[in-house]
Amino acid sequence: MHPDLEKLIQLQKVDSEIASLTAEINALPKHVKQIEAKLAKAQARVEKAKAAIKADEASKRRHEQDIQAQNDKIAKFREQSSSVKTNEQYKAFLGEISFAEVEIGKIEDKILEIMMAADARTAELKAAEAELKADIAEVEREKAEAHARTEVMSRQTKELNGQREGLRSGVDESTLQHYDRVLRGRGTAIVQAIDQRCTGCQVLLRPQVYNDIISGNVVYSCETCSRLLYFVPDEEAIAKAAEEAAALAHSSEHAWMFVPGIGEGGVFAVFANSKGNASMKSYDALTGVFLEKRVEKNANYQRAFAEQLREARNLFVDEANLEEMYKEQLPPEILQDLQHQLPERPANPQATSPAE
């Protein structure tokens, strides 16, 4: 194998690990914000409980002041009633006193209700404070773990960057630039050639090109997807490389696959992760007609559609957001391109049926 390819194979593994670590490091601040938001909710519950108790106490004081005011009225009416000269005036004062006593009874009932609710308010506050205390401890623990995890991953990233620079130092500059460009656009820049096919896009390679790749004397890139190609003669290594290629394909957030186990001739399906949800949109592999779109919330497609991916074959689609442009039917030229990427092209019954 060409020495540049050997280094680039290792480089791609290192770049993949760095990307994974970087993504996890970048996600940690968001996780910290989420747990801090949880703490804020617990604090709000405590403040709400305290505010309710405070409001009850203020209401109780107002009611007690109202009782005092009514008692003052009663005292005044009684004092005035002692100097009245007619029965009518005396009865009027007695009516006022009776009315004030009724009002006092009503106010005392309200105070009693507040006092009866006080135990529940106090219990609610204690529960909220206990929950807040537990949440504070949990938040501090998770923040400490996130900080420690960040430090560990930062050290790992630093070490991997050192390995990365060492691997890059001995590679031809133009080959390295090609690797960087394809890695940015495809997510993978170097894949194995197996059975005269590029395992990145499954396109058939020209015999002479495949022979040159087998010889290992030159560095070739796939004419379709631009990925650099290498060959490993050992069968066990071939199988391992195929598994790695599939894993790399399935690690992306957006992938086109051929799934043979659906319908008569299989389907061309696009799997995607977006906004925390997973989706699978399928087209009939024979006609290109849109069949269905399945969405699984709070999931990624690698797990949500693991059964379909288990038998799926990776496809190369050069046009971004293809499924958004052609929602009901794949154009003939795109359908043919996808069909050409399969070892055995699905036979379209419409193509062989006699004309009516």
Pair 262, 343 in one domain: yes
* Domain termination residue (choose one: 196, 228, 246): 246
**Residue 275 three-state SS:** coil
Do β-strands 220-221 and 197-198 pair in parallel, antiparallel, or remain unpaired?
Answer: unpaired
Strand partners, 193: 198
Pair 197, 319 in one domain: no
* Domain termination residue (choose one: 246, 279, 299): 246
**355 part of a folded domain:** no
pLDDT for position 37: 79
Local confidence band at 352 (pLDDT 50, 70, 90 cut-offs): very low
Pair 188, 78 in one domain: no
Long-range CB pairs of 65-71, under 8 A, 24+ apart, other chains included: 66/103, 66/107, 67/104, 67/107, 67/108, 67/111, 70/100, 70/101, 70/103, 70/104, 70/107, 71/100, 71/104
Strand partners, 292: 282
Q: What residues contact 251, with CB distance under 8 A and at least 6 apart?
A: 16, 187, 302
**211 part of a folded domain:** yes
Q: How many domains does the chain have?
A: 3
pLDDT one-digit tens code per residue, 71-95: 998 898 888 888 888 888 888 888 9
Pair 210, 261 in one domain: no
* Domain termination residue (choose one: 134, 167, 200): 167
* pTM of the predicted model over 0.75: no
Strand partners, 194: 197
pLDDT for position 182: 92
Is the pLDDT score of 22 beyond 70?
A: yes
Local confidence band at 235 (pLDDT 50, 70, 90 cut-offs): low
pLDDT one-digit tens code per residue, 239-249: 555 555 555 54
**Residue 189 three-state SS:** coil
Q: Are 232 and 347 in contact (CB under 8 A)?
A: no
Helix/strand/coil (H/E/C) assignment for every residue in 44-63: HHHHHHHHHHHHHHHHHHHH
Q: Across all residues in the chain, what is the average pLDDT?
A: 83
Pair 189, 336 in one domain: no
Local confidence band at 346 (pLDDT 50, 70, 90 cut-offs): low
**202 part of a folded domain:** yes
Alpha-carbon 121 to chain mean position: 39
- Residue 195 CA to residue 202 CA, distance in Å, equals 10
**226 part of a folded domain:** yes
Pair 241, 261 in one domain: no
Pair 23, 160 in one domain: yes
pLDDT one-digit tens code per residue, 35-73: 777 788 888 888 888 888 888 889 889 998 998 998 998
pLDDT one-digit tens code per residue, 148-196: 888 888 888 899 899 889 989 989 999 999 999 999 888 899 999 998 8
**356 part of a folded domain:** no
**Residue 183 three-state SS:** helix
Domain of residue 30, residue span:
3-167
Is the pLDDT score of 351 beyond 50?
A: no
**19 part of a folded domain:** yes
Is the pLDDT score of 341 beyond 50?
A: yes
